[in-house]
Structure 1
Amino acid sequence: MATKRKDPALYTLTAGSFAGAIEATITYPTEFVKTQLQLQDGAKGQVAALPGAKAPKGPIDILVSTVRNQGISAVYRGLSAMIIGNTAKAGVRFFAFDQFKELLKDSEGKTTGARSVLAGLGAGMTEALLVVTPSETIKTKLIHDGNSAKPQYRGLVHGVQSIVKAEGLGGIYRGVIPVMARQGANSAVRFGVYSALNDLLKARLEPGAKVPAAYTFGIGAIAGIVTVYSTMPLDVVKTKMQGLNAKQLYNGVFDCFWKVFKNEGLLSFWKGATPRLARLSMSGGIVFSIYENTMVVLRRFDDPAPLRS
C-alpha cells in the first residue's frame, strides 16, 4: 500500500501566505470596527482618552461616521500592516502546524484530536512571537492615531519609524504575552475543531474522495465561531495594551485585566465580539478554502503521471 507523500514545507508556507493575504483584504473593515470598539474606555465614554476623540457608539455607527467624516479609505487605515502581518502569519501558522503535527504523530503515523490541539497551540505561539505581535501593535496604533484631531502618523512606514524612534523595538512588541496567549488559544481551538469536523466528514465519504469546497468553508466557519467566544477576553486585553497611551494606563497584563474589569465590567471582555465573529466566521472559511485549493494546484507540480497530449 502506497504511503501518502508529505507536502513540501514551501507548499504549506506559500498556500498559507496566499490565503492570509486574501482573507485580510476581504475582512479588514470588520477588524477596523472591532479595534475601535475595544479602544473605547467604558468608564469615560472616550476612545482610550485621546484628546479630541469622540466615542463611537456601535459597529454600524463606527462605519457610517468614519465613512461620512473621513471617506471610505479611512476604514482601511492600518490595512497594509494587516496584510503584511496576515500573509506572514498564515504562512507561519500552516507551516508550523504541519511541522508540529509531524512531530506529534503516534506510532501508527496518525494525529489524534488532542495532538491536533497541541499542534495548533504550538503554531499559534510561534506565529504570535514571530509575526502577530509587531503587526497587530502597528495596526492598532495606526487606527488609534486616526481618532485624534491631528494624527501623527503619515502611513505604515512613517508610523513604524515613529514608534521605534519613540519607544525602541519594544514599542512594536506591546502586549506580547496576551498576543501569544490569544494566538495559542486561537490556533488550538480553530485547528482542533477544524480537524475534528474534517475527520468526521471524511469518515462519511468514499475512501480517497475530495471534501467539497462548500463543506470545507462551512467547517472552517464553525471553527472560527467557536474560536471567537473562547478567546475574546485575551483579544480585548491585547488591543488595550497596544493603544497609543497603554504605557501610561497599564502596568502589565494582569493590571490591564483588573482595570478593564473594574472600570468597564465583565461583559466588556467580549466588546467587539460581533465584528470579530463576522471576520473569523468568514476568515475561517476563506483561509481554509483558499489554502486547500492552493495546495491542490501546487501538488500538481509533483504529479508523477505523464502529461497527455
Structure 2
Amino acid sequence: MQMKGAIQIIEWQDLDLKKFYSLGVFMTLTTRVTVYPASVIRTRLQVQKGKALYSGTFDAFFKIMRAEGVSGLYRGFMVNTLTLISGQAYITTYELVRNYVSRYSQSNTVKSVVAGGSASLVAQTITVPIDVVSQHMMMQGPHGEHMARFKARPRPMLNGSKRRITFGQSRDITVQIFAADGFRGFYRGYVASLLTYIPNSALWWPFYHCYAEQLSLLAPSGCPHLLLQAVAGPMAAATASTITNPMDVVRARVQVEGRTSVIETFKQLMAEEGARGLTKGLSARIIYSTPTSLLIVVGYETLKRLSLRADLVENRHW
C-alpha cells in the first residue's frame, strides 16, 4: 500500500506512447533553446587556459554579449538540435530499462541507477559526434577565429603545401575534422563523455527520487507533487554536477583540443592549473544544469501526466 503523500511514479506501461513522443520532441527543443547559452559559456570556460579570456561565468556572459551579441550565445545551436534524436533515445532507454529491472528489483534506487546509466550510454553514442562539431562552433570568436588550439594533422593541398586547420560553418568543421582524423575524429572524447555522463545520469535519478520523497515527508498535506519534483530536480542536478565536474572539464578539453588520452589530458590540466582546474566551469555548469533540470522535471512529469493512458487518469492523484 502506498504511503499517504508519497510521490507516485508513472511507469512505462502507464503511458500512451503516441502522445508521449509527439509532445516529448516539443518539450526537449524548448528546453534546449532556454539553456543553450549556459552550455556555450561552460564550454569556453572549461577549454580556456587559466583565465586567459574570461574570469568567470558572468564575465564570460557580458564579454560574449558585447563582442558577439545574442548570436554568440547560440553558436552551434542548429547543429546541436540534432541531439533531439539522442534525447528521445535517452527517454526510451531509461523507461524500458527501468521497466525491465523492475522484474528483478523493486528498489527505486537500483532501477534509477541502472536505467540512468544505460540511457546515458545510448544517448552519448549518438550525441558525441554532434557535440564535437557544435563545441568547435561554440569556440568561434566574432570573426570566425577559433578560441582554442585544435591539434590535428594538416591535410596536404594539391600543390603540396600544408593547409592550416581553421573553422567556419558546420560543414567546414565536419569536413576538416574528417580530413584530419577520419571518422574517429567525431568520437574524440567518447570515453571521457561516458565517464562523465554515465555517472552523472546514474547519480541524478536516484538523488532526484530521494530528494522528492524527502520533500514529500516535509511538505504540508495537499502540496502538489509536481512542485516537490520541481524542487528536487535542481537539487539533484547540483549534486550530480558537483561530483562529476572534474571529468566534464577533461571531456571538454579532449573534444575541443583533439586530444586522444583522457589520462594525459588530466595530468596536463593538473600540472598547469592544479586541483582548481578541476572546478573550472562548475558554476556555469550548475547554472546550466539546475534550470535545465527544473524545466526537464516540470516538462517531463507534465508530459507523462498528459500521456497517461485514458483508463488510468481517474485513478491517479497528484
What TM-score do you get using the length of structure 1 for normalisation? 0.81
**Distance in 2 between residues matched to 1:120 and 1:199, nearest whole Å:** 18
CA distance in structure 1 between the partners assigned to 2:15 and 2:255 by the alignment: 37
Quote the residue 1:283 is aligned against: 292
Cα distance, 1:74–1:205 mapped onto 2, change above 3 Å: closer
Paired amino acid for 2:88? G
Give how far 1:111 is off. Answer: 3.8
Q: Using a 3 Å threshold, how does the CA distance of structure 1 residues 214 and 69 change in structure 2: closer, same or farther?
A: same
Corresponding position: 1:140 with 2:138: no
C-alpha contact 1:9 1:95 (8 A) present in aligned 2: no
How far apart, in 2, do the equivalents of 1:18 and 1:117 lie?
A: 27
Higher alpha-carbon deviation: 210-219 or 172-181: 210-219
Aligned to 2:235: 222
Query: Counterpart of 1:80?
Result: 78
Q: Give the match's secondary structure for 1:136.
A: helix
Structure 1 stretch 29-38 or stretch 210-219: which is displaced more? 210-219
> Whole-Å Cα distance in 2 between the matches of residues 72 and 178 of structure 1?
30
- The number of residues matched between the two structures is 286
For 1:207-229, what per-residue CA distance to the aligned partner results, in whole angstroms no more than 9, with x for missing partners? 9x894332221111111111110
Equivalent position to 2:106, from 104, 110, 133: 110
User: Is 2:124 the counterpart of 1:128?
Assistant: yes
Q: Contact 2:144–2:168 (CA<8 Å) still a contact in 1?
A: no
Which one of the candidate residues 20, 27, 42 is aligned to 1:19?
Answer: 27
2:49 match: 41
Question: Residues of 2 paired with 1:193 and 1:278: CA distance?
Answer: 18
Taking a change above 3 Å as real, the CA distance of residues 232 and 143 of structure 1, as seen in their structure-2 partners, is: same
- Residue 6 of structure 1: CA displacement? 3.4
Deviations 1:114-145 (A, max 9, x none): 3321221111122111x221122112111223
Tell me: CA distance 1:56–1:200, structure 2 relative to 1, closer, same or farther (3 Å). closer
For structure 1, the 5+ residue unaligned runs are 47-54
Q: Share of identical aligned residues, percent? A: 20
Distance (Å, rounded) in 1 between the aligned partners of 2:19 and 2:300? 10
Kindly indicate whether the alpha-carbon contact (under 8 Å) linking 2:16 and 2:308 is maintained by their aligned counterparts in 1: no
Deviates more, 1:145-154 or 1:171-180: 145-154
1:90 alignment partner in structure 2: 87
Q: List per-residue Cα deviations over 1:278-308 (Å, max 9, x = no partner).
A: 1111111100111111222223667799xxx
- Give the equivalent residue in structure 2 for 1:254: 263
In the aligned structure 1, how far is the partner of 2:22 from the partner of 2:220? Answer: 29
Distance 1:14 1:100, change over 3 A: farther
Q: Compute the displacement of 1:175 (Å).
A: 0.1
TM-score by length of 2: 0.79
Give the match for residue 51 of structure 1.
none
Paired AA for residue 100 in structure 2:
L
Q: 1:210 to 1:293 in 2, by over 3 A?
A: farther
CA displacement at 1:258 relative to structure 2:
0.8
- 1:233, distance to aligned residue in structure 2 (A): 0.8
Q: Could you tell me how far apart the structure 2 residues matched to 1:7 and 1:34 are?
A: 35
Query: What is the letter of the counterpart of residue 238 of structure 1?
Result: R
Decide whether aligned partners of structure 1 residues 201 and 89 sit closer, same or farther in structure 2, where only a CA change above 3 A counts: farther
Distance across 1 between alignment mates of 2:135 and 2:235: 27
Change (3 A) 1:167 1:70: same
Superposition CA RMSD, Å: 3.0
